Amino acid sequence: MKIKTNRLILLILLSVLLAPFCSFAQKEKLNLHSTAEIPGYNFIIANDLGRNGYFDQKPIAQTMGEWAGKADIDFVVAAGDVHHFNGIASVSDPLWMTNYELIYSHPELMLDWHPILGNHEYRGNTQAVLDYSKVSRRWVMPSRYYTMVKKVDDSVSIRLLFIDTAPLIQKYRQQKEDYPDAYKQDDLLQLHFIDSVLSVSKEKWKIVIGHHPIYAQTQKDDSERSDLQTRLDPILRKYNVDFYVCGHIHNFQHISKNESTVKYIVNSSASGSRPVEAIDGTVFSSDKTGFSICSVSDDKFTFYFIDKDGNEIYSYSKEK
């Protein structure tokens, strides 16, 4: 008995002595005050933003600005629901000030924002969201769905495909009073556009950005995901898209499906979060608010999940 007790004491002492060395060997976590940097071509993804500055929106906006400067961000992706709760009425709606302009006023965020529509935008005037591109220099939204190529260097490019998911989901098309613009959109034309763009894409990295998830743990209507699993996911798999990124769920999730090469990323809300549980395929999940930083180099594409305090809570890298 005495020998066992001595061994236990020895093990405890060893664990205390070795703890600093073990933690030193771990990957350095990124935070605003560390010396760690993010090399490569970088951009931010944020979504579910607009709550007039409340529910963490203001502090997260400040953190986004600070990270944008530190990581030399090239642009911001706004992945839908910039305007809770009933969208906007026009390009002169005061919500543009209280949800966007006065909140994301950090000097480092005065760069291109590439938005898409979310379900909350579809409760209002969706055309006014597009038309705001004529008002704001940094609001760059040429269409409801569109694509662009960004150069990492002379030999490597990224294909970004921004899509409009609400019209691809039947429940939004059927609820005409709540979402008056959804049923008017040609969903088949959009699916053809997605297929045609990806079929000719030669870029090393392909990322598709939509508001609604294809796979995620959520209490929201199952039909939202099943419709996209049936209509959208086969196209992404067919052309070996690297990442499908969405919002809508108000938490962080990384989902991986054994039969798919696509990595499914759910970006958390930048204003108010919801609980989350692991499901089949969950690699990581967190109920924290925040945003993501994407960093691209010649052979690696990395997602960093950043919480409202500016700390990296998770990162995932895909290499080619």
Q: What's the pLDDT tens digit per position in 161-215?
A: 999 999 999 999 999 999 999 999 999 999 999 999 999 999 999 999 999 999 9
Asked if omega into 75 is within 30° of 0 (cis), the reply is: no
Q: What's the pLDDT tens digit per position in 262-294?
A: 999 999 999 999 999 999 999 999 999 999 999
pTM tops 0.85, yes or no: yes
Which residues of the chain are modeled with pLDDT < 50? Answer: 1-5, 7-26
First-residue to last-residue Cα distance in the chain = 55
pLDDT at 280: 95
Helix/strand/coil for 178: coil
Show the DSSP H helices in the chain as ranges.
2-25, 57-70, 95-96, 126-131, 170-174, 187-199, 222-231, 233-238
Which CATH class for the 40-319 domain? alpha beta
pLDDT at 14: 42
pLDDT at 27: 57
pLDDT at 13: 42
Q: Is the dihedral of CA 281, 56, 63, 147 positive or negative?
A: positive
CA atoms within 13 A on the CB side of 178: 9
